[in-house]
Structure 1
Amino acid sequence: MHQPSCRMNDDEYQLLVRAAAVCHMSIASFLAHSALRAASDLDRTAADIAGEREMLNGLFGLRRHLGQLGNNLNQVARTLNSGAEATQAEAVLTAVHRAAKRVDAFTQRHLDSGTAA
């Protein structure tokens, strides 16, 4: 058995941790699977790999942003359910609409470019 190792900065490691979690895999399994998949498809160009990385970074950013908006919506709902006035409701709904447009634009951009999701 071989046990290769690699170095990465904090941002890269957090990206790896999130990606492994999304795939319901351990970090070691995700690394092995990803590396073996890349090694078995040497026809892919560096540009393809960079495009996928950009797409994944964008998806993680959107996911994080949508999670924050979900928290804001929950706070608005809690406020309204308590009978109080939710003065921030309009701003939160505007942010949700902007996020939905951002998701649509992101999706369309990657569909148009032919980048696999």
Structure 2
Amino acid sequence: MRQPSCRMNDDEYQLLARAASVCRMSVANFLAHAALKAARDLDRTAAEIAAEREVLNELFAVRRHLGHIGNNLNQVAKATNAGAEVPHTAAVLDAVHRAAHRVDDFTQHYLDSGTHAG
């Protein structure tokens, strides 16, 4: 018999322990069962990992894009401060702030929950 080991932080271990408890299994049995199930269906496992990476890549791309928008808004602010007329500035700023908060909230929720896409 082989006895592989792995490392995880406290939050990851607690998640694993709760899942094992719900399934009425020991942590070791649950971990072995889950790992073997994934290993037996590599096409699905690889697809789920790829989907998760794709979602994360897209979210971080959106965050970068919002950063660029923020830079553009700084330019609008500079123009406004210089006396130029910029219509609808408040509405644009409000919309950008709402979008940024939604992206940040979703990203944090996704990372905290360990949700898998696919």
User: What TM-score range do you get, normalising by the shorter chain?
Assistant: 0.3 to 0.5
Larger RCO (CA under 8 A, 6+ residues apart) = 2
TM-score, L = length of structure 1: 0.48
Q: TM-score, normalised by structure 2?
A: 0.48
